[in-house]
Amino acid sequence: MAELSYRDAVIRGISQEMERDQDVVFLGEDVAKAGGVFKATVGLYDKFGPLRVRDTPISEQAILGAAMGAAMTGLKPIAEIMFSDFIAVCFDYIANEFPKSRYMTNGQTKCPLVVRTGNGAGSRFGAQHSQSVENWCMMIPGLKVVAPSSPRDVIGLLAASVRDPDPVIFLEHKSLYSIKGEVPDGEIVDTLGTAKILRPGKDATILALAMMVPRALASAEKLATEHGIECEVIDVRSLVPLDTQTILGSVARTNRLFTVEENPRLCGWGAEIVSIVADEAFYDLDGPPVRITTPHCPLPASDLLEDAMLPNVDRIVDRIRRTMGA
């Protein structure tokens, strides 16, 4: 066991996989010699050399296209898109190329690659460097979408993503890079499509992802101590594949569902889960499921405004408390 930051966990995760498999290569802007704009790839260039860790020009289409061509023909590339907002300039690969090639070719074409990208708000970067774009990716058949909330999960889920035979969008939360957590020694490999119950509770289920996970946990603590409401907190971890069973199981016990989403409200992942629960567990519910989200707005830059836009502990606690009639 050692304490590791989320940022260093990215380095360790990539390292672990590159050591294991010569076919794993890594490319992106400023990732090699400079170690990444978030310093989440420091040392990889020195360790694995210029053939396996490569700086690219500012060419997001070339980065993702090259990753795909390499993946189709035998490598297992990890490509970095610096900020997830930039996925918009190379969305063709995310929407049309990676996820459709296997289907269109009747199974001939493979695409085992990982796109790592800095996602989410909290850095006061404004509307084009702060978005949570998981819902841009989740809606596309053929992709897998993963968003870890802890250093341990970064390593385990990154390893699972690299080893997965399908294209995986791996969303690292920029505001979590500096958090620390206990990480076991040795190889860590997790399983995609498994949610984690981080705190048990009998009164309500709270689903969260990435930076909303620590906020959901803090809210649950406050609800328990100040209002006597015991919430079960589930880290969804992987949107595709989605661990519906863990979620339905929890709702069956608590009879209440809250989602905490950083993405803007429309078509957020919580809406999909709420629709599943409504379809399959309607009679387990004691009240309407509630989505706590960022409003349908771009993100502002100032700290005051940005903080007011995102779900925070006060808002989560208040919403759950009022819904539960406490």
Partner 1 sequence: MRMQARTETDLINDDIGETKRLELYKTQLVIRDAEQRAHDLFLQNLVKGTSHLSLGQEGVAAGFACAMKHGDLSFCTYRGHAHTLARGVPVEKVLGELMGRDNGLMRGKGGSMHLTSELHGVMGSYAIIGAHLPIACGAAWRAQYKGQKDVSVCFFGDGTTNIGAFHEALNFAVIWNLPVVFVCENNLYMEYTPISDVTAVQNPAGDRASAYGLPKIVIDGNDADVVYREALKAYDRARSGGGPSLIECLTYRHSGHSRADPAKYRPEGELERWKQRDPIKIYRERLAQFGISEKAISDIDAHVKREVDEATEKCKAAPPTSLDILTTDVYADGGYAWRN
Question: Which is nearer to partner 1, 144 or 222 (by Cβ)?
Answer: 144
Distance in Å, CB of 213 to partner 1, minimum: 20
Question: Which is nearer to partner 1, 52 or 173 (by Cβ)?
Answer: 52
Question: Which is nearer to partner 1, 143 or 183 (by Cβ)?
Answer: 143
- CA dihedral sign of residues 86, 90, 95, 97: negative
Q: Is the previous residue joined to 77 through a cis bond, with omega within 30 degrees of 0?
A: no
Residue 232's nearest CA partner among 255, 254, 208, 259 is 254
Whether 129 is catalytic: yes
Give residues with Cβ within 8 angstroms of 36, minimum separation 6. 28, 30, 42, 80
Distance in Å, CB of 266 to partner 1, minimum: 20
Q: Which residues of 97-113 are buried (b: 16+ CB within 10 A; e: fewer)?
A: bbbbbbeeeeeebbbbb
Asked if residues 129 and 84 have their Cβ atoms less than 8 Å apart, the reply is no
CA distance 116 to 113: 10
Look at residue 157 and give its three-state secondary structure: helix
Distance in Å, CB of 88 to partner 1, minimum: 13
Instruction: For residue 78, give both structure tokens.
Output: 């990890």
Distance in Å, CB of 254 to partner 1, minimum: 20
Tally Cβ neighbours within 10 Å of residue 49: 11
Question: Which is nearer to partner 1, 74 or 186 (by Cβ)?
Answer: 74
| Residues at the interface with partner 1 (CB under 8 A) | 25, 51, 54, 56-57, 59, 61-75, 77, 92-93, 96-97, 101-110, 112, 141-142, 144, 164-166, 193, 240-245, 276
Question: Which is nearer to partner 1, 71 or 234 (by Cβ)?
Answer: 71
CA distance 192 to 5: 21
Distance in Å, CB of 105 to partner 1, minimum: 4
Q: Is 39 left (phi over 0), alpha (psi -120 to 50) or beta?
A: left
Between the alpha carbon of residue 201 and those of residues 2, 221, 228, 258, the distances in Å are 29, 11, 11, 13
Instruction: For residue 217, give both structure tokens.
Output: 């946990």
Distance in Å, CB of 166 to partner 1, minimum: 5
CA distance 241 to 13: 20
Just list the catalytic residues: 129
